[in-house]
């Protein structure tokens, strides 16, 4: 008897409806995240990771819509919930932090108030109590002098501080799932490490599951226990992150791994160039037939151009979608 997962995505298809025709921007995406688990979605820009995240919280807007499949949060299908029930989940049980800490905070409202608002909104607290909780929340994300900082406006804080505030807002109501969409892309590397560490520790303390979305395979593999690699709207490989560097099965994943710079490797390999994946992600409207990676894949054969590969289950909970997987 297995415990029901916290969130389960099954055969999700997201359509882009441009009036004349429906194009599947995301297709056949399935994954599950257990309580307290960490799962990462990796892929290039435009591969559908962010809209998958929006679908999870029921916030896809025209022209995008969920066309098929199911998203279940604690066994309840998100699409079937009323608008009010979905709202009660958002921010409260499922929270999200964004890429841009510069714009994700309301510029005319002190940050303390923005944190306090979460307690008022989801926990029904009075403003007095909420403001005190906001100071604690800022202290939890290691903002120095939180009782003074709560009165600051976002433009008075640095990028790293703002992202800390975002984390404080997101974790204010002790959510079960934290979606982090490129949480550190806008920050410089040293701050990035601090923020990731902070996010990981806070979530581990509270047993909050993380869904991390990034183009940075190294970062995701570092934070998450399992990683799903997305390409052109499909999950092409899902592995434990311990395995992904040593035994990746899909040529695209291999390409991502090869394109990561590694310390000392340049000398070892005789000053070779960093390898890249040739070509670009195809536009949603002209995804190729068969395996969507075939135009960029060195190992592509005739079958890749005609038939979409089925899911192959690997050992240790991994899966891959490739005709030629190792």
Partner 1 sequence: MKLGTSAIIGGLLFALAIFVGLFAPWLAHTDPVMGANLMNAEEPPSWIWWFGTDAQGRDIYSRVVHGARISLTVGIVSQLVNSIIGVTLGLTAGYWGGWWDDVVNGLTNLMLAIPSLIFALAIMAVLGPGLTSLLIALGLTNWSFTCRIARASTLSLKSQGYVQAARVLGYGDLRIMITQLLPNMVGPIIVIGTLGMGGAVLAEASLSFLGLGIRPPYPSWGSMLSEARDQITTAPWLSVFPGLAIFLTVLGLNLLGDGLRDVLDPQSRSRRT
**Burial zone of 191 (CB within 10 Å; 0-12 exposed, 13-18 middle, 19+ buried):** middle
Least Å from the CB of residue 25 to partner 1: 19
Chain positions 62 to 101 lying near partner 1, rule: CB under 8 A, are 87-92, 95-96, 98, 100
> How big is the CA angle at 303 (ends 241 and 41), to the nearest 5 degrees?
25
Q: How far is the CB of 91 from partner 1 (least distance, A)?
A: 3
Nearer to partner 1, 88 or 260 (CB): 88
Q: What is the C-alpha separation between 81 and 116, in angstroms, rounded?
A: 26
103 binds partner 1 (CB under 8 A): yes
Does 149 interact with partner 1 (rule: CB under 8 A)? Answer: no
Q: Does 106 bind partner 1 (CB under 8 A)?
A: yes
**Burial of 115: CB neighbours in 10 Å, binned 0-12, 13-18, 19+:** buried
- The least CB distance from residue 57 to partner 1, in Å, is 6
Nearest C-alpha neighbor of 284 from the set 57, 17, 12: 17
User: Does residue 122 interact with partner 1 by CB under 8 A?
Assistant: yes
Least distance (Å) from partner 1 to the CB of residue 206? Answer: 17
Is the CB of residue 279 less than 8 Å from the CB of residue 262? no
Residue 61: HSE in the Cβ half-sphere, 13 Å Cα cutoff:
0
Nearer to partner 1, 169 or 203 (CB): 169
For partner 1, the closer of residues 155 and 262 by Cβ is: 155
Nearer to partner 1, 86 or 299 (CB): 86
Q: Is 118 in the site for partner 1 (CB under 8 A)?
A: yes
CA distance from start to end of the chain: 32
Q: Which of residues 157-216 bind partner 1 (CB under 8 A)?
A: 166, 169-170
| Using rule CB under 8 A, residue 105 touches partner 1 | yes
Least CB distance to partner 1 at residue 108 (A): 5
Alpha helix locations (H) across the chain? 49-56, 83-89, 111-123, 127-140, 146-149, 159-171, 189-206, 217-223, 241-244, 251-258, 265-268, 302-306
Q: Residues in contact with partner 1, total (CB under 8 A)?
A: 30
Dist. CA 205–CA 236, nearest whole Å: 32
Considering only 26, 41, 57, 199, the residue that binds partner 1 (CB under 8 A) is 57
Q: How far is the CB of 187 from partner 1 (least distance, A)?
A: 15
* Closer residue to partner 1 in complex, CB, 134/221: 134
Query: Of the ranges 113-121, 135-143, 205-213, 278-286, which one interacts with partner 1 (CB under 8 A)?
Result: 113-121
Residues 218-277 that bind partner 1 (CB under 8 A): none
Closest residue by Cα to residue 308 from 284, 325, 291, 285: 291
DSSP-assigned states of every residue in 119-184:
HHHHH---HHHHHHHHHHHHHHTT-SSHHHHTT--GGGS-HHHHHHHHHHHHHTT--SEEEEESTT
Residues that bind partner 1 in the complex, under the rule CB under 8 A: 57, 59, 87-92, 95-96, 98, 100, 102-109, 117-118, 121-122, 153, 155-156, 166, 169-170
């Amino acid at each position: 008897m297995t415990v029901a997962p916290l969130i389960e995505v099954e055969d999700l298809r997201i359509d882009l409806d441009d009036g004349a025709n429906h194009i599947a921007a995301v297709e056949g995406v399935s994954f599950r995240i257990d309580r307290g688990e960490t799962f990462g979605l990796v892929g290039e820009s435009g591969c559908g990771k962010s809209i998958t995240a929006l679908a999870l919280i029921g916030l896809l807007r025209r022209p995008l819509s969920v066309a098929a499949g199911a998203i279940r949060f604690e066994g309840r299908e998100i699409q079937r919930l009323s608008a009010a029930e979905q709202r009660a989940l958002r921010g409260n049980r499922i929270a999200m932090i964004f890429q841009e800490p510069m714009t994700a905070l309301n510029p005319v409202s002190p940050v303390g108030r923005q944190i306090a608002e979460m307690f008022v909104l989801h926990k029904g607290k009075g403003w007095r109590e909420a403001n005190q909780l906001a100071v604690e929340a800022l202290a939890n994300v290691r903002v120095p002098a939180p009782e003074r900082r709560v009165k600051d406006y976002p433009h008075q804080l640095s990028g790293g501080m703002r992202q800390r505030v975002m984390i404080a807002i997101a974790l204010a109501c002790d959510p079960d799932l934290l979606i982090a969409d490129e949480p550190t892309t806008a920050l410089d590397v040293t701050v990035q490490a601090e923020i990731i560490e902070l996010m990981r520790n806070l979530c581990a303390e509270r047993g909050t599951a993380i869904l991390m979305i990034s183009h940075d395979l190294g970062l995701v593999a570092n934070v998450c226990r399992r990683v799903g690699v997305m390409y052109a709207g499909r999950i092409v490989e899902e592995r434990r992150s311990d395995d992904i560097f040593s035994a990746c099965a899909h040529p695209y994943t291999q390409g991502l791994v090869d394109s990561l710079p590694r310390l000392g490797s340049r000398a070892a390999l005789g000053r070779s160039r960093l390898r890249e994946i040739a070509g670009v992600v195809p536009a949603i409207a002209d995804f190729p037939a068969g395996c969507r990676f075939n135009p960029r894949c060195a190992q592509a054969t005739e079958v890749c151009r005609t038939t979409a590969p089925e899911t192959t289950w690997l050992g240790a909970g991994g899966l891959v979608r490739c005709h030629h997987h190792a």
